[in-house]
Structure 1
């Protein structure tokens, strides 16, 4: 991917290029090009720092003081399944602008959110499996990129990747699953019941199924 010369802080092309390189390397803990590989539910739970259920209140973008382009998302938090977030809202920043931006020097900055990364729409209900914010940039994104953002609509849960691979290789100890949860885990792709999905994740996190080996990744 190439970008035109840009100068948000007055440091010239070199500073802009360095900022872009830095943020591409450091945008979020564990989120890299390799994150596009399929993640199943065990991996989403295991690798997430926060798991939030809520609705998108606002989506804005900008360029921070270091010259890093970002999209800022504020969620209304209806339920926190994991994480240290306090209050009824949570705001995080993901790498990339929502759309190309005209700069003061007349050039256009094309550093938009890369393909395969989550996109956000105001008022959509979501389940978010989030990495911890990156130490140097503070940027944050979903585990497995767009796989870690699931939309809730009509009481169904679906990712941008059609839930492909979400339950592949997921094994749960005998006696733990309800009938509707067992049926859900047998699905290879497609939307699933929100109540069954959230109920399973809620219990798996609260009772530490993954760390205790009661929920395993056998893929």
Structure 2
């Protein structure tokens, strides 16, 4: 991977970007997002497998991690084709630059991390207007890994269902049981089935799914 020469002007932009995204990270970590908030605040909701993960520095000097996802299911969004590629702020690890300096602007703590071939459910914000960078809603809370037919985020799903209220007649028995969980992995099909119907039938906007936290 080659990098453009680091210069002060690009460095200032990268620093400002880091400060902006770090502020968002602090806000996200200070307040757990529940499922209603993940749905409300997402521009895209994608299910698939991570095909590749790389990093670099764009023409403005902003360090990024680039993720390409094979999209198996699109619960929200208008992405064409079978893959989706986005960039998140920060390098995967510190990097030695051509000028001999080491660039330390890595992905901040509390942000989503990606591994090739892992299966995921992702609640993504819209790309940032100035940089095109994207994050998952609630940062590490908005990326759930699918393994052994279970879904779990990096915070052990803590608070994911707190305050989530759904009209009882809409819920299957296993979904109602899932919503009572305080933390821990849950059945993948129950989770995805609930999100599919909530998005397709606009439960939140119609008041059939509420955030009472």
What TM-score, normalized by structure 2, do the two folds share?
A: 0.94
The aligned residue for residue 189 of structure 2 is 195
Instruction: Extract unaligned runs of 5+ from structure 1.
Output: 1-6
- For the 8 Å contact 1:27–1:137, the answer to whether it is kept is no
Cα 1:145–1:158 shift into 2, 3 Å: same
In 2, Cα distance between equivalents of 1:140 and 1:79: 19
Are positions 1:181 and 2:175 aligned together?
yes
- Residue deviations 1:132-189 (CA, integer Å, cap 9, x gap): 0000000001000000000000000000000000000000012000000000000000
In 1, Cα distance between equivalents of 2:37 and 2:6: 42
CA RMSD of aligned residues (A): 1.7
Instruction: Extract unaligned runs of 5+ from structure 2.
Output: none
The aligned residue for residue 4 of structure 1 is none
Are positions 1:63 and 2:34 aligned together?
no
2:169 is paired with a residue whose SS is coil
What TM-score, normalized by structure 1, do the two folds share?
A: 0.92
The aligned residue for residue 33 of structure 1 is 26
Are positions 1:83 and 2:77 aligned together?
yes
Are positions 1:96 and 2:90 aligned together?
yes
- For the 8 Å contact 2:5–2:98, the answer to whether it is kept is no
In 2, Cα distance between equivalents of 1:175 and 1:31: 37
The aligned residue for residue 133 of structure 2 is 139
How many residue pairs get aligned? The number is 210
The aligned residue for residue 11 of structure 1 is 7
In 2, Cα distance between equivalents of 1:177 and 1:93: 36
Runs of 4+ displaced beyond 6 Å? none
